[in-house]
Structure 1
Amino acid sequence: MTAVKEPTSRAGRREWIALVVLSLPTMLLMLDINVLMLALPQLSEDLGASSTQQLWITDIYGFAIAGFLVTMGTLGDRIGRRRLLLGGAAVFAVVSVVAAFSDSAAMLVVSRAVLGVAGATVMPSTLALISNMFEDPKERGTAIAMWASAMMAGVALGPAVGGLVLAAFWWGSVFLIAVPVMLLVVVTGPVLLTESRDPDAGRLDLLSAGLSLATVLPVIYGLKELARTGWDPLAAGAVVLGVIFGALFVQRQRRLADPMLDLGLFADRTLRAGLTVSLVNAVIMGGTGLMVALYLQTIAGHSPLAAGLWLLIPACMLVVGVQLSNLLAQRMPPSRVLLGGLLIAAVGQLLITQVDTEDTALLIAATTLIYFGASPVGPITTGAIMGAAPPEKAGAASSLSATGGEFGVALGIAGLGSLGTVVYSAGVEVPDAAGPADADAAQESIAGALHTAGQLAPGSADALLDSARAAFTSGVQSVAAVCAVFSLALAVLIGTRLRDISAMDHGHGEEPAENDAQPAT
């Protein structure tokens, strides 16, 4: 049965309660990515995980989410976004218990992979359901801002929550945090959420799904490995392989009468603009986040938990900025809000170029400015992307938005992280007292320099540490300078070419939306 709502209908109490329920698993996904980092030493010791297994335990979750986002977004358009979300939430809850009680590293790696696949159902489903529930443009903007705030809160709270949980319980408890949240979605979803899908969608093309996975996974893996290890032919080959599969994916979508991903979505200028701004901003934030976190731990000497607590300050300001930007975007052209925010972010980046080896306070103040300035990008570009897409393609549009963010962060970490490494390697001076292997390690990374210093006499060790810290700080400054240029370039692009970008008033916010919407039973 098809239900047609008036485009000017206002959301009621049920929709706002549903928004809270949809925001919680989104926050959990972000929290789950960060919280494991603190548990890794303890679980690695208990499970006897090798260094390679530790990397897979950490990375496989994000790889699986990124790889399956497009497939899950389009699958939700076909089978129903509520059905997909409820199924994914149920699987996530069950497998979280399995992960918590894993008795081997291999078991935990597999569990994390399945959690990633289940997690890939959450982001596109929740965003598509929100976009269809809130038809009034202003209400949709507020809802998307709240959803984005929940996501940022997950990022901000991850280290703090992880530290508190691990202080009282064993490492498996970090996985059990997800169980009550996902069970809440499973229990309340059928009552609060109205099903929506593309009524004209055909069957999911499995070959397209495979090509999508073969595109995203190698590229994300290759970029992360290049950031972690520097130049590596295998990692570079993975990126090239992913690009080749991406070309095959696009070619197949053009040939299919009912493609898995409708490339016609890219014909909309607003959607293209939203994706572009979001992607470049993700590059900036990925590079900035990496260098700031490394500075706090290697230069300032903070533990991962202490560094996470320091980063609560800019992260909380990011959440505040998301809400403020939504209010401003309802009172002035969204392009002005974006422009002002990016200029503030550029000021923060320029301040980081003045940081020295003992400037934690200035670094945090500058990072807070950057996060606050970047805060309008998420809700405004997401609103533009979702508003530009027809309601029946909401799942595909949301998956494009999320996948673009994943690519941007990975590219920022790899590209800007590599820039920081190059500057560091060019600036560090290793004492002659270091052996060849130790000298190479010190030349390669700040972590290697810290290790090498422990093998040297006090005078040589102090000289190496001073040089390494100064060189790494120069790398941080160089990355910040490039990010400032990127932010200013985005500001110029928005001010000259995208002045008419609108955050909330495109697409199905203006036209009657006919969904295959089935009332909850």
Structure 2
Amino acid sequence: MSTLIPSSDQRQRDPSGADRRMWWGLGVLTLPVLLVSMDFSVLYLAIPAITEALDPSAAQQLWILDIYGFLIAGLLITMGNVGDRLGRRRILLAGAALFGVASVIAAFAPTAGVLIAARALMGVGGATLMPSSLSLIANMFPNARDRARAIGVWTAAFAGGSALGPVIGGVLLHHFWWGVVFLINVPVLAVLFIAGPRLVPEYRAPNTTRFDVVGVALSMLGILPLVYAVKTMAADGISGTVVAIGVFGVVMLALFLAHQRRVAAPLLDLALFRNPQFSAAVSVALVGMMALGGMSYLTGVYLQSVRGFDVLTAALAGLPMAVAVAVFSIGASRVVAALGLRAAFVGSVLLAAVGNLGLLALSMSSPLWIYLVFTSIAGIGYGIQFSLVSDVVVGSVPVERSGAASGISETSFELGTALGLALLGSLATLVFRENSDGWTFGDTLGDTMHRALEMGDGGTGLADAARNAYVDGMHAASLASVIALGALAVVLTVVMRERTAADVRQD
């Protein structure tokens, strides 16, 4: 294995064994991760202003929101492999350039169609940034303890960006026009372009076999229709067309897996899943993000539409959880050193379950501290488990395959988020409609509250019934998350081998 990491034997090394220049390089690598995660959430606050300025149709508005995530989910595995073959830093910088140009186009988009195209380009660029940055950590930090700390910082940036997106967006939109939520990417990417070539080493796997173009096509034909079908069913209900699209995606994924078993240089190395730690980590990413995504979406609506807080206040209420995620992401390696890998994984999943269980105490008049306490408990669990996911995935494969492996884990994160919004959101909506108590509800809480407002004083009963029904739906989704996380904790206890503190300290 050959890397182009600058020689560190002649440079000062810190007591942990990692070159100080590598830690500065890690700081540079967190910048694109922060932006990619922020751009998932920052747009929600800008949609009203975008709708007023560009007048998109309902379908166009859906695509403005979702095309970015669709393409990231569909291309992560592909871009992880491309980085392994062409050079991870090269792909990182190329993706950053595309992301920056697309951000400028989005900021000044004159029509909804141009904005959708710009968001699509941002998704392509974002798909190169995530696996490239994570896989570079594997060869920058060969020491297991240093790598765990570095991945904790990377995870904190990823989770923190998602939580800070609405807060930053709310502040900027209060003072500027909607395009500023895209322009904030440009100065951050400028820092990456200046500092990246100086602080981040290049790495390219010594694998010169032919690239699996058929695998790329089959993976995208599988993932994109499936994610689209799941999200569309959550938003608009089940229809024959959407079911057919979902079935097509499943068939393409089956063909993709069959192809990967036969091809000499597979895009997705199925042998990785024979490693129980790798499989467990991917499962944690999928189920954990499903629970977190569903909780974040449902509680956001709860704070604004049930409790009546404004958007910025609701976003600020999420900061304690964001801080918990960030702090415990960075400190996850110490938890492993003290408890062992299996105990840390199981404990973190159970903490997330406790946090979701506490949401059952939320009501139309419950004090805000209940929300803050239990989401913070969940944040501790999510921070530890997501950091461990990245560490285990990168550490369980040869360094020349870490790009492909990190692409798998990041795809699990994105699919988990989509499933959380779709499955848990659909469950909450189903309970909401079933608990109408004789009232005629709209499709969503927002529609029903608007109808109640139009009724004047006579709509008070409808509004109260809708709020109560929504809380019931949120409780049902929270309980489903608790069950899923509890089942995952049991599985992890059985399939994962214990790892002692001495194992963690080994290089």
* 2:18 alignment partner in structure 1: 11
CA drift at 1:430: 4.1
Give the gaps of 5 or more residues in structure 1.
432-438, 511-521
Are 2:451 and 1:485 equivalent residues in the alignment? no
CA distance in 1, matches of 2:261, 2:233: 32
* 1:471 alignment partner in structure 2: 469
* 1:244 alignment partner in structure 2: 251
* 1:419 alignment partner in structure 2: 427
* 2:369 alignment partner in structure 1: 361
* 1:267 alignment partner in structure 2: 274
- Would the aligned equivalents of 1:156 and 1:316 in 2 still touch at CA under 8 Å? no
Are 2:398 and 1:390 equivalent residues in the alignment? yes
Give the gaps of 5 or more residues in structure 2.
none
Are 2:195 and 1:188 equivalent residues in the alignment? yes
CA drift at 1:426: 1.2
Matched residue count: 498
Q: For 1:367, give the aligned amino acid.
A: T
CA distance in 2, matches of 1:30, 1:502: 33
CA distance in 2, matches of 1:177, 1:330: 38
CA distance in 2, matches of 1:31, 1:504: 37
Q: For 2:407, give the aligned amino acid.
A: S
Are 2:391 and 1:373 equivalent residues in the alignment? no
When residues 256 and 497 of structure 1 are mapped into structure 2, their CA distance, relative to the original with a 3 A threshold, is closer
Q: For 2:428, give the aligned amino acid.
A: G
Aligned sequence identity (%)? 39
Give CA-to-partner distance per residue, 1:341-386, whole Å, 9 cap, x none.
2332222222221221122432232222212222211111211111
Give CA-to-partner distance per residue, 1:120-146, whole Å, 9 cap, x none.
000000000011110110000000000
CA drift at 1:150: 0.7
Give CA-to-partner distance per residue, 1:180-212, whole Å, 9 cap, x none.
221222222222122112212323222221111
CA drift at 1:325: 2.4
- Would the aligned equivalents of 1:384 and 1:501 in 2 still touch at CA under 8 Å? no
* 1:302 alignment partner in structure 2: 309
- Would the aligned equivalents of 1:420 and 1:475 in 2 still touch at CA under 8 Å? yes
* 2:445 alignment partner in structure 1: 446
CA distance in 1, matches of 2:285, 2:125: 24
Give CA-to-partner distance per residue, 1:227-260, whole Å, 9 cap, x none.
2122233332222111111011111112211222
When residues 400 and 337 of structure 1 are mapped into structure 2, their CA distance, relative to the original with a 3 A threshold, is same
When residues 487 and 260 of structure 1 are mapped into structure 2, their CA distance, relative to the original with a 3 A threshold, is closer
CA distance in 2, matches of 1:167, 1:474: 33
When residues 201 and 378 of structure 1 are mapped into structure 2, their CA distance, relative to the original with a 3 A threshold, is farther
CA drift at 1:50: 2.1
* 1:514 alignment partner in structure 2: none
CA drift at 1:151: 0.9
CA distance in 1, matches of 2:501, 2:136: 18
Give CA-to-partner distance per residue, 1:488-519, whole Å, 9 cap, x none.
2222223333242689969xx86xxxxxxxxx
SS in 1 for 2:339: coil
CA drift at 1:219: 1.2
When residues 143 and 502 of structure 1 are mapped into structure 2, their CA distance, relative to the original with a 3 A threshold, is farther
CA distance in 1, matches of 2:359, 2:150: 33
CA drift at 1:47: 2.0
Give the TM-score normalised by structure 1: 0.91
CA distance in 1, matches of 2:392, 2:249: 28
* 2:346 alignment partner in structure 1: 339
With 193-202 and 13-22 compared, the bigger mean Cα shift is at 193-202
* 2:283 alignment partner in structure 1: 276
* 2:241 alignment partner in structure 1: 234
Spell out the pairing of 1:45-444 with structure 2 (5 A cutoff): 45-359=52-366, 360-431=368-439, 439=440, 442=441, 444=443
CA distance in 1, matches of 2:310, 2:226: 31
When residues 315 and 233 of structure 1 are mapped into structure 2, their CA distance, relative to the original with a 3 A threshold, is farther
CA drift at 1:48: 2.5
CA drift at 1:300: 0.9
CA distance in 2, matches of 1:174, 1:476: 30
SS in 1 for 2:437: coil
CA drift at 1:304: 2.7
Q: For 1:59, give the aligned amino acid.
A: D
CA distance in 2, matches of 1:504, 1:229: 52
* 1:519 alignment partner in structure 2: none
Q: For 1:361, give the aligned amino acid.
A: W
